[in-house]
């Protein structure tokens, strides 16, 4: 039957091409019209596949040759051609091949006075012009002039013809040569005037399609530089901006507003960032002859030629989240296979023996004369004093067969009467969130701080004067907070308040000590020893005082309809109505003398503290500021992280902030994410917390670009604006704003101090060593955590020494502070007295580098170290001089592999700026090849699928974790990351990157909520729980361990069954 239909259609088309009988042709055209007017587009595609377009074009050529033209044949032919041409992707080429372009133009010219005939010609002309090559040919032959003649002057007569001509002209102007032709003939100004006429006279909005068609013509013309210049010279910005002011509140006019906004954004005059150079304000001399990161090169016109598609995406699809594409999958099987290689002489590995003291420890402290006899002073001194073993640094001399001199590391016992850290027993299901019980932290912090100060005296070069940033200077508030008993007349001078020891004492006494695992005195002791490029003299209040999570989770911010275009229009108003633009620099990191802080009604900014990042602040209007972030040290890029102080605000006034030098093409700020804010007044009133804040938030491409001079050779780079508005909670407060919850190097170090002070040394084996010194001279800590052996019996010690390793690292990218919060949760769980943590410690030895890039974190970078390199792209061949933390972490992993103790699990904690949820990236040969479309011979390529076990477990136990977000593909661009290198070179099957969103969750218990520090810390503890279950599923366990696990966990039948049939391992 199908063959008969095909043969019947072919007969019709063949007859159409060969017949000269008018009636026969008309009958065939009527049959085709009826055939194509019914059903779906499948019929049209079928006709196209059988040569329908060619037959119709040939019939058109024959009909056009008759004199006079027979319109009874031509009109149905033109209608069919317009209908078929819309679905035929090669229609333009077929028109050229049939030499029909001149025929269509000729018919159009001959029918200028007959609008019914002309409109049919215009329909076909528009379809032909959709092919750029055909459109260019039509333009050369005068199509642009013809169409402009049809649409001008303004008239409401023959509206259908005008609409068809405008749509055809818009299609023609997609060709750049046609756009140039239109500009050169002065048509751009004519289009602007015509648009104004239609706009002013279309009071009832009946001709929206004509107005939008004219805007599309302008949009295509302004895709070329000449078009944009002419548009600006014709006052196009003012005309279009003014025209849509009365359209903004009518939703039916959205097509008009959107197109106008796109044109305005594109034509906004490009200008360089208002900085002398985009290179970082901070530079660091590199050791040897090493050079900082070379500038990124881009083509001169990148910021112009590639913007159009992004504009479309930003404005037309505001609620569509961008998806990552796998564009560079590795398909070379040899490169995907595990290949245990060494990137350094084997004799160098001996130095890492000292970093595994647990393998040679004799546990003398298990004798009666152990921890309880140590004094608090001895413990604190050993806590903060310099370790006695050799610490590799960036300038260390390599010595063959060198063994570290001394591997003794002091151990710290509990404070007398100190409570163990307690964590509620957890179920392994996602029924409820894990919450930490607050601990009593009112220990003798004064004595501990004195010990810390005395330890500083041993190495004066490592400490410096550090003062807390001034508090709010409102006299009445200050007096009420710190001098409630004083008489009204007493008015302490705000500028001198923090210089007074009495005030500092009052401040420390006011601290409630109820923020778990945080001590302001410990923080100060650590912060004083930090080495930074700017040599920080100030300490941010939130880091000193601490953060307590709010008792609720914040929903993702609902995006207001049209908020982005409104912000863009505000930017355009700046250009065309500059009367209220102040343009005053109020903060400048490069030129402090150029700043004018403290001006009446002006906010005061500051960022020169640990992890701070704000380079410049410019007051645009009374309550609006443009902000510029600092690039990473020794770099001219990676602008994303910000953290700064602002003060002198008014109450209940919405301040708008525009961060104008963002780099990523999209951001979670477009999909519900908010920044975070910390109020000093709120903190001192008992609410010390970072909160999600900001409204009218959006992220879009702006008109700034990087010129060659400012970029040090980098050209054509475009920037994006993050804009948000904030109402501050108090007048004359001191507030801090940040990209995400800050977590400084000093916070991490003082957190380790508190954990070490509070652990139970009889149960928790804890060693804090220094992996190496960073380029900046800061120690990078290495932790070893496991369970103490039950006794000095041989079996107990053998079980201790034979535990498998888990290797965890975090914060290789400084701006990913969420990774540190997850790591914080992991560490607190590991040293806690929770029975599950106790069992986990008996199953594994944990090696942890909690911060791989201390220098980047300290100096407020987003992605790089002081060398200007992304350390997570250096794992293939790290430099001991430029990348010491990665070099020595990899060396330690090599050493563990060389003694047959490669870790069971390796995980690198990260943050992700463009996706929601928490998820893992792993490595799989088969999945990578399948995804790339390669044929996989399963007989040749075998693979253990155990890499999927841990993410499947986490999907069940961790509320924020989503298995469907995980990926196990290996990309070429990721071959030098920790995850891939550890998988390939160390042979670690379960080598992962764990990504935590900056935003929130799209699935599960936290769906629709932004993640806070409590949820991130919970993820860290749940990761530990997942490791325990992985151990029970994957490794032989003693009956004692299985029995303990059965009591603690609601295990699957699979694990319970294993307990019955497990191979016996001696109980310890």
DSSP secondary structure string, 949-980?
A: HHHHHHHHH-TTB-GGG-B---BGGGTTSHHH
pLDDT at 473: 72
Pairing type for strands 643-647 and 616-621 reads unpaired
**Alpha carbons 759 and 422: distance in angstroms, whole number:** 10
pLDDT value of position 706: 83
CA angle 62, 66, 68 (to 5 degrees): 145
User: What pLDDT is attached to residue 566?
Assistant: 92
Cα–Cα distances in angstroms (integers) from residue 435 to residues 421, 442, 512, 549, 962, in the given order: 13, 21, 20, 11, 21
| 3-state secondary structure labels for all residues of 753-806 | HHHHHHCCCCCEEEEEEEEEECCCCCEEEEEEEEECCCCCCHHHHHHHHCCCEE
At 413, list the tokens. 């016992």
The pLDDT of residue 464 is 67
pLDDT at residue 365, as a whole number:
66
389 contacts 405 by C-beta, under 8 angstroms: yes
**Using CA atoms, how far apart are residues 620 and 617, in angstroms rounded to an integer?**
9
Q: How far apart are CA 792 and CA 783, in angstroms?
A: 23
d(CA 639, CA 650) in angstroms, rounded, equals 29
d(CA 386, CA 409): 10
CB atoms within 10 A of CB 353: 16
Q: How far apart are CA 41 and CA 38, in angstroms?
A: 9
Q: Which long-range contacts (CB under 8 A, 24 or more apart) does 491-497 make?
A: 494/470, 495/470, 497/470, 497/471
d(CA 546, CA 523): 9
Can you give the pLDDT at residue 410? 32
Which of helix, strand or coil describes residue 932? coil
Dump pLDDT digits (tens) for 3-50: 555 578 888 888 888 888 888 888 988 888 888 887 678 888 888 898
Mind spelling out the 3-state secondary structure of 820-861? HHHHHHHHHHHCCCCHHHHHHHHHCEEEEECCCCHHHHHCCC
d(CA 552, CA 430): 18
Structure confidence at residue 327 (pLDDT): 57
How is the chain split among helix, strand and coil, in percent rounded to 5? 45, 15, 40
Contact 678, 690 (CB under 8 A): yes
**827: closest CA among 1020, 980, 576?**
1020
Q: What is the rounded distance in angstroms from the CA atom of residue 1021 to the CA atom of residue 1013?
A: 12
Q: Give the β-pairing of 538-539 and 467-468.
A: parallel
Quote the CA–CA distance of 43 and 39 in Å, as a whole number: 7
Please give the Cα distance from 621 to 570 (Å, whole number). Answer: 11
Q: What pLDDT sits at residue 69?
A: 79
CA–CA gap between residue 97 and residue 895 (Å, rounded): 70
Residue 604: its H or E element: strand 604-606
CB atoms under 10 Å from CB of 33, counted, come to: 14
- What is the spatial distance between Cα 608 and Cα 622, in angstroms, rounded to a whole number? 25
Instruction: Measure the CA–CA gap between 917 and 966, rounded to whole angstroms.
Output: 10
CA distances from 326 to 317, 333, 509, 991 (A): 22, 17, 55, 20
List of residues 6+ apart from 589 with CB closer than 8 A: 281, 607, 608, 614, 615, 616, 630
Cα–Cα distance for residue pair 612/668, rounded to 1 Å: 22
Please identify which residue in the block is written with the tokens 């602008």.
639
Q: Which residues pair with 734 in a beta bridge?
A: 647
3-state secondary structure of 726: strand
Length of the chain: 1068
Residue 864 contacts residue 871 (beta carbons within 8 Å):
yes
Percentage with pLDDT > 70 across the chain: 80
pLDDT of residue 25: 87
The Cα–Cα gap between 1053 and 681 comes to: 53
Paired strand residues for 787: 764
State yes or no: cis peptide before 350, omega within 30 of 0: no
Low-confidence residues of the chain: pLDDT under 70 = 1-6, 39, 289-327, 365-464, 474-505, 597-598, 708-716, 938-939, 1050-1068
* Residue (of 1047, 950, 932) closest to 989 by Cα position: 950
Pick from 384, 413, 463, 395: nearest CA to 770: 384
User: Which DSSP string corresponds to 392-437?
Assistant: --TTPPP-TT---S--------PPTTPPPP------SSSSS---PP
Active-site residues, by number, are 995
């Amino acid at each position: 039957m199908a063959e008969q239909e095909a043969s019947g259609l072919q007969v019709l088309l063949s007859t159409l091409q060969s017949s000269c009988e008018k009636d026969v042709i008309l009958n065939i055209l009527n049959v085709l019209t009826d055939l194509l007017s019914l059903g779906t587009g499948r019929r049209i595609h079928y006709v196209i596949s059988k040569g329908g377009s060619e037959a119709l074009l040939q019939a058109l050529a024959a009909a056009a040759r008759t004199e006079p033209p027979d319109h009874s044949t031509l009109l149905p032919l033109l209608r069919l051609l317009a209908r078929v041409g819309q679905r035929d992707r090669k229609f333009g080429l077929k028109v050229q091949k049939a030499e029909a372009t001149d025929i269509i133009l000729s018919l159009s010219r001959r029918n200028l006075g007959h609008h019914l005939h002309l409109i049919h010609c215009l329909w076909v002309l528009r379809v032909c012009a959709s092919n750029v090559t055909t459109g260019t040919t039509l333009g050369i032959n005068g199509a642009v002039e013809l169409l402009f003649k049809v649409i001008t002057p303004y008239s409401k007569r023959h509206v259908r013809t005008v609409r068809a001509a405008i749509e055809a002209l818009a299609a023609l102007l997609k060709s750049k040569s046609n756009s140039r032709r239109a500009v050169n003939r002065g048509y751009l100004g004519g289009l602007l005037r015509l648009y104004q006429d239609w706009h002013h006279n279309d009071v009832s909005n009946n001709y929206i399609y004509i107005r939008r068609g004219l805007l599309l013509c302008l949009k295509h013309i302004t895709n070329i530089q000449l078009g944009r210049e002419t548009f600006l010279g014709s006052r196009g910005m003012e005309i279009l901006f003014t025209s849509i002011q009365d359209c903004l509140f009518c939703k039916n006019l959205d097509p008009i507003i959107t197109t106008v906004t796109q044109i305005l954004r594109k034509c906004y005059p490009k200008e360089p960032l208002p900085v002398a150079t985009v290179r970082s304000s901070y530079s660091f001399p590199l050791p040897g002859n090493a050079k900082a990161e070379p500038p990124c090169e881009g083509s001169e016109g990148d910021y112009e030629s590639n913007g159009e598609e992004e504009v479309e995406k930003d404005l037309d699809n505001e609620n569509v989240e961008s998806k990552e594409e796998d564009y560079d999958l590795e398909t070379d099987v040899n490169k995907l296979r595990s290949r245990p290689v060494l990137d350094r002489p084997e004799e160098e590995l001996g130095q890492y023996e000292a970093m595994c003291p647990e393998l040679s420890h004799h546990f003398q402290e298990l004798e009666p004369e152990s921890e309880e006899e140590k004094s608090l002073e001895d413990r604190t001194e050993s806590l903060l004093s310099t370790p006695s073993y050799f610490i590799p640094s960036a300038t260390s001399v390599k010595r063959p067969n060198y063994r570290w001199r001394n591997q003794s590391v002091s151990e710290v016992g509990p404070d007398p009467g100190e409570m163990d850290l307690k964590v509620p027993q957890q179920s392994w299901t996602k029924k409820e969130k894990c919450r930490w019980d607050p601990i009593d932290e009112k220990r003798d912090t004064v004595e501990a701080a004195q010990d810390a100060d005395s330890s500083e005296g041993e190495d004066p070069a490592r400490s410096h004067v550090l003062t807390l940033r001034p508090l709010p200077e409102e006299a009445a508030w200050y007096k009420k907070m710190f001098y409630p008993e004083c008489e009204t007349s007493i008015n302490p001078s705000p500028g001198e308040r923090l210089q007074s020891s009495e005030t500092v004492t009052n401040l420390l006494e006011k601290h409630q000590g109820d923020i778990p695992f945080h001590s302001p005195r410990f923080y100060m002791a650590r912060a004083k020893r930090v080495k930074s490029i700017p040599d920080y003299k100030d300490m941010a209040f939130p880091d000193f005082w601490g953060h307590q999570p709010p008792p609720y989770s914040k929903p993702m911010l609902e995006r207001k309809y049209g908020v982005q275009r409104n912000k863009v229009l505000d930017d355009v108003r700046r250009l065309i109505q500059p009367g209220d633009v102040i343009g005053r620099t109020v903060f400048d990191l490069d030129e402090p003398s150029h700043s004018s802080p403290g001006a009446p009604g002006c906010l005061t900014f500051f960022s020169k503290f640990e992890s701070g990042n704000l380079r410049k602040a410019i007051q645009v209007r009374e309550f609006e500021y443009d902000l510029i972030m600092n690039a990473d040290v020794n770099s001219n890029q990676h602008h994303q992280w910000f953290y700064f102080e602002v003060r002198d605000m008014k109450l209940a006034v919405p301040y708008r902030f525009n961060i104008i030098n963002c780099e990523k093409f999209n951001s979670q700020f477009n999909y519900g994410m908010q920044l975070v804010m910390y109020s000093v007044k709120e903190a001192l009133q008992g609410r010390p917390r970072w909160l999600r804040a900001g409204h009218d938030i959006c992220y879009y491409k702006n008109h700034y670009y990087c010129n060659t001079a400012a970029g040090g050779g980098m050209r054509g780079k475009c920037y994006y604006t993050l804009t948000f508005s904030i109402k501050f909670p108090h007048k004359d407060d001191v507030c801090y704003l940040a990209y995400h919850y800050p977590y400084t190097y000093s916070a991490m170090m003082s957190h380790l101090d508190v954990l070490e002070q509070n652990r139970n040394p009889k149960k928790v084996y804890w060693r804090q060593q220094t992996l190496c010194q960073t380029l900046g001279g800061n120690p990078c800590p290495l932790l070893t955590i496991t369970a103490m052996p039950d006794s000095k019996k041989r079996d107990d010690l053998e079980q201790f020494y034979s535990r498998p390793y888990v290797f965890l690292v975090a914060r290789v990218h400084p701006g990913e502070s969420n990774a540190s919060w997850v790591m914080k949760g992991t560490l607190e769980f590991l040293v806690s007295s929770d029975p599950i943590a106790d069992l986990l410690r008996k199953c594994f030895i944990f090696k942890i580098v909690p911060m791989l890039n201390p220098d980047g974190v300290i100096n407020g970078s987003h992605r790089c170290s002081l060398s200007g390199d992304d350390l997570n792209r250096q794992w293939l061949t790290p430099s001991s001089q430029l990348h010491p933390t990665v070099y020595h972490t990899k060396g330690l992993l090599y050493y563990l592999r060389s003694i047959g103790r490669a870790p069971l699990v390796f995980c690198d904690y990260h943050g992700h700026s463009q996706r929601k949820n928490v998820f893992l990236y792993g490595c799989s040969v088969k999945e990578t090849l399948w995804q790339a479309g390669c044929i996989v011979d399963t007989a040749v390529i075998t693979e253990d699928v155990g890499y999927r076990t841990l993410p499947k477990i986490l999907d069940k136990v961790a509320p924020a974790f989503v298995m469907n977000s995980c990926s196990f593909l290996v990309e070429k661009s990721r071959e030098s990351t920790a995850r891939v290198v550890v998988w390939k070179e160390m042979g670690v099957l379960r080598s992962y990157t764990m990504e935590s969103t900056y935003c929130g969750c799209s699935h599960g218990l936290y769906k629709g909520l932004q993640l806070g520090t409590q949820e991130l810390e919970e993820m860290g503890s749940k990761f530990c729980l997942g490791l325990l279950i992985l151990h029970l599923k994957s490794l032989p366990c003693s009956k004692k361990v299985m029995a303990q696990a059965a009591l603690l966990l609601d295990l699957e039948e699979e694990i319970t069954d294993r307990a019955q049939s497990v191979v016996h391992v001696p109980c310890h």
